[in-house]
Chain A
Amino acid sequence: MKDINIEDQFQAKIDAEIKIEPKDWMPDEYRKTLIRQISQHAHSEIVGMLPEGNWITRAPTLRRKAALLAKIQDEAGHGLYLYSAAETLGVARIDMLNDLHSGKAKYSSIFNYPTLTWADMGTIGWLVDGAAIMNQIPLCRCSYGPYSRAMIRVCKEESFHQRQGYEILLTMMKGTDAQKRMVQDALNRWWWPAISMFGPNDAESPHSKQSMAWKIKRFSNDDLRQKFIDVTAEQAKILGVTIPDPELKWNEERGHYDFGQINWDEFWEVVKGNGPCNRERLEARRQAWEEGAWVREAATVYAEKKARKNQEAA
C-alpha cells in the first residue's frame, strides 16, 4: 500500500513538471529506462566521432578542418556530459564502457555506415546532426534533471554542427558536375538510415508509452520523423538535390509530406550488429581503450605518488 502511494506521488510530481533529481525516490523501471537511454545516447556520441574522424586529415581546406575538428570534439564532450548524467543514477562509468566494448550496449545504428567521400561530411552534419537535434530538443524538457541539463548544453552546441554540414553541401553544389553528383550520391546513401534514426514506428515501439507518461519522451518516434522530413524536404530544395524517395510528396490535406516505407529489415540487421561497419567501429573503440591503458595507469600512479609526497611534506 505504501509503495503505491510513493509511485502516485512520483507521478504527481512528473505531471506537475517538477524535475526528478538524483537522490529523489524513483521507480526502479524509471531508473533502468534512463540508464539504458542515457548510456546508449552517450555511446552514440562517442562512436559517432569515428565516421567523421575518418576525414579530418583529408578536409579540403584549413577552415573545414578546424570546423570538423571542433565538431568532433563537441561530440566527445556530449558523450562525457551524458556519461556523468547516467552516473548520477548509480551506474559506474567503467561498467558502461565495458558494456560498449563487449558489444552488449547499443548505440545509434547510423554510425555503422561508412563515410566514403567528403560530401558525406556535409550530409552527416545536415541529416544526422539534424535528426539528432530534432530528437534532443524535446529531451531538454525531460523529467530527469541531470539528463535535461546535459541536453540543454548539447543542444546549444549542436546548431553549428548542422550548419557547417549544410554549408559544405551548398559549396559543393556550386561546384563542378562531379561535385554535385557526389552530394547526390551521399544523400542517396544517408537518407534512409537518417530517417530510421527516430526508431521503429510507434506501433512497434512498446516502451514509448511509459516513457511518455514519465515525460522522458515528449513526442513519439513517428511524430519526430514527420517533423524532420517536413523541414528537410524544404532544405533539399534550396540545396537543389533530390531526396531518394519516389513517394515523397506534399500532402495538402495533412499539411505534411507523405513518404515511402522504411526498410525495417535492414534497420534491425544493423541493430543486431550486421551493418557495414559495426565490427570496425567496435574494434576502433576497443583499440583506443586498450592502447590508452598505460596512460590511465601512469596517471593513476603519478597522482598517488604526488599525494604521498604532499603528505610527507606536510
Chain B
Amino acid sequence: MKDWPLWEVFIRSKQGLNHIHAGSLHAADAEMAIENARDVYTRRNEGISIWVVESKHVKASNPEDQGALFDPADNKIYRHPTFYVLPDELKHM
C-alpha cells in the first residue's frame, strides 16, 4: 500500500497574525490533513486558521547558497534609520 503523502502545516494563532509553520503530518488528502492538523497541532486553542500544503510542493533555497543568496543585503546599512546623522535637538522622527 502507498504511504499517505506528507503535508506541511501552518497555523494562524490569532486574527491579525501570520500563519506560522507548526510541523508536518501524513494524510490522504487536504481535507484529512486539515482535520488531522486540528487534532495534532491545536489541542489547546493554538490556532484559529490552518493552511496545509503537500511537502513536495515546497521549494526551498539551498543552505549552501546562503552566502551568495543573501549577501546583497549585507552592505546596505543605508537601509536602516540609524545610518542617518541628525541633530540631537530633533526630538521626534
Chain A contact residues, CB within 8 Å of chain B = 21, 23-25, 70, 73-74, 77, 80-81, 84-85, 87, 92-94, 149-150, 153, 157, 293, 296-297, 299-300, 302-303, 306-307
Contacts and interface: CB of A to CB of B under 8 A. Distances in A.
A295 to B, nearest CB: 10
Contact of B29 (A74, A87, A94, A306): A306
B81 to A, nearest CB: 28
Contacts of A297: 1
B40 A93 contact: no
Nearest to A156: B44
Contacts, number: 55
Nearest to B60: A23
Nearest to A301: B28
A149 B20 CA distance: 13
Contact of A93 (B26, B60, B63, B64): B26
B4 A296 contact: yes
B29 A307 contact: yes
Contacts of B2: 300
Contact of B3 (A80, A93, A157, A307): A93
B48 to A, nearest CB: 18
B6 A73 contact: no
Q: Chain A contact residues: over half helix, strand or loop, or mixed? A: helix
Contacts of A153: 23
A94 to B, nearest CB: 5
B28 to A, nearest CB: 4
B80 interface: no
A81 B4 contact: no
A80 B60 contact: no
Given A74-B43, A84-B23, A87-B24, 16 more contacts: A21-B63, A24-B63, A25-B64, A70-B43, A84-B24, A85-B23, A87-B6, A93-B6, A149-B23, A150-B23, A157-B44, A297-B1, A299-B28, A300-B4, A302-B29, A303-B32
Contacts of A24: 63
B53 interface: no
The 5 tightest CB contacts between A and B, nearest first, are: A303-B29, A299-B28, A303-B28, A84-B24, A94-B3
B63 A80 contact: no
B63 A92 contact: no
Contacts of B23: 81, 84-85, 149-150, 153
A73 B32 CA distance: 18
27 contacts: A25-B63, A70-B43, A73-B39, A73-B43, A74-B43, A77-B43, A84-B6, A84-B23, A85-B23, A87-B6, A92-B3, A93-B26, A94-B3, A150-B23, A157-B43, A296-B28, A297-B1, A299-B4, A299-B29, A299-B32, A300-B1, A300-B28, A302-B28, A303-B28, A303-B29, A306-B29, A307-B29
